Amino acid sequence: MSDDTDDTPHDAAPISNRSAAVDGAEPADGEFTVTPYAVAGEIDYDKLLERFGADPLTDEQIAQFPDHPMLRRRTFYAGRDVDRYLEAAESGVPHAIVTGRGPSGPMHLGHVLPLYLAKRFQQATGATVYIPLSDDEKYLAKDQSFEVIGEHTRDNLRDVLAVGFDPERTRIVVDTADADVIYPIAVRLAKHLTPATVEAVYGEQDTVGLQFYPAVQATHLLLPQLVDGRQPTLVPIAVDQDPHVRVCRDVAAKEALPVSKPGALLGRFLPSLEGPGKMSTSGDAPSIELADDPETVAETIRNHAYTGGRSTLEEHREKGGDPTVDVPFQYLRFFFEPDDEKLEAVAERYRSGELLSGELKELAIERIAAFLDKHQQRRSALGDLESELEPYRLTGAERRRALERAGVPAQF
């Protein structure tokens, strides 16, 4: 069976994201918008799957993934085409992960968790991991100079390196710095990307630059296969990035490239400190940055974290708190308390009123600070960026192979 022809029914559905509310207007009650460039309203994660045509993960699929709290607790809760990836991972044949970063500012907690998940997959089953940094996209989408975007790119690269991927099995690309390989492939894919599709999927874009960018991200998602040959590829991302996967699957099939359509592993957003919704560096909402010291983490959580506690001590003792909306608890659940029993014990003590919001905050602070401390130690142990990055960059041979497979062989 050829991968190029087996359209799942979902892919045949129109790939539009448009709800009643698009393009900037605040969605009405019960409505929401999710595209790579706009997230608004209260997200109904199940409805979103219907809209996007993705499937909830089954218990069986979750059991097949390397054990990780973000899967067990369904932070990553849905996917498209994950079985092919799981089969390859299980039988030890080549398989790849692509998870990228748009370098528009310092990285915060929500940005790095998918990278740690990718590292876990790499350690568990030997997955090849590709990490593209879309500096072009952020230059186009944000009001920042190339100089500033460049500073964020170099800063973010240090955080990516600090995660500790295996250089033998990991490639990091930066769109403007690796344009020799990315641009020709993106052009080939762009041939099949019509303005109508782009508008249906992403909404109206301000510039032709952003209209073209989906061809670049589609290139990222195919890159492991173009470099190393056809293999199941999985893209673990927050749901807002799913449109890029759908567009990639669509154009990859039209170009008859020697690749399988990449699959997606779709995640919920880490709640913002101020309550449900997307964590964003661009908004004014306070957030925890990877560079924060323990005092800053403590202050940020003490002063800004939304809690599920009651307004008075007596009421809390009597009626208990609500862990489902409590942001410090949700942080523990997302990542920072991997032990299910311990997590449930915390929830129980909170619900019963025994544990106070302030105490729960301190618990989260301690865990997050310990995690950041280790991350920061690895980051500060890095030498100069260029030499640290070198073993992760595409080699000359890899670049030529990718261009050849994409049917755009290098000129010189």
Nearer of residues 79 and 100 to ligand TRP, judged by Cβ = 100
C-alpha angle 399-405-410 in degrees, rounded to nearest 5: 50
**Residue 101 in the binding site for ligand TRP (CB under 6 A):** yes
Residue 98 found at the interface with ligand TRP (CB under 6 A): yes
209-248 positions binding ligand TRP, by CB under 6 A: 217, 220, 235, 237, 241
Does 394 bind ligand TRP (CB under 6 A)? Our answer is no
Task: Out of 41, 110, 132, 271, point to the residue binding ligand TRP (CB under 6 A).
Answer: 132
- C-alpha separations of 348 from 56, 326, 345, 355 in Å: 28, 13, 5, 9
User: Hey, which residues between 245 and 304 contact ligand TRP (CB under 6 A)?
Assistant: none
3-state class percentages of the chain: helix first, strand second, coil last, to nearest 5: 55, 10, 35
Which stretches does DSSP call E strand in 164-322? 170-174, 233-238, 263-267, 271-272, 275-278
Name the closest residue to ligand TRP (Cβ).
100
Q: What letter does residue 407 receive in the DSSP assignment?
A: T
Strand, coil or helix: what is 183? helix
**Cβ-based nearer residue to ligand TRP, 163 or 364:** 163
Distance in Å from the first CA to the final CA of the chain: 36
Tell me how far, at minimum, the Cβ of 352 lies from ligand TRP, in Å.
40
Q: Where are the beta strands (DSSP E) in 137-255?
A: 170-174, 233-238
Q: Which stretch binds ligand TRP (CB under 6 A): 60-68, 96-104, 281-289, 372-380?
A: 96-104
Report which residue type is found at 63.
Answer: A
Please identify, among the stretches 99-107, 199-207, 306-314, 360-368, the one whose residues bind ligand TRP according to the rule CB under 6 A. 99-107
CA distance 263 to 80: 5
What's the closest the beta carbon of residue 217 comes to ligand TRP, in angstroms? 5
Count residues binding ligand TRP (CB under 6 A). 14
- In DSSP terms, 264 is beta-bridged to 80, 235
Element (H, E) at 313: helix 313-319
CB 111 to ligand TRP: min, Å = 8
From 79, 94, 100, 323, residue interacting with ligand TRP (rule: CB under 6 A): 100
Q: How far is the CB of 105 from ligand TRP (least distance, A)?
A: 11
Residues within the interface to ligand TRP (CB under 6 A):
36, 98-102, 132, 134, 137, 217, 220, 235, 237, 241
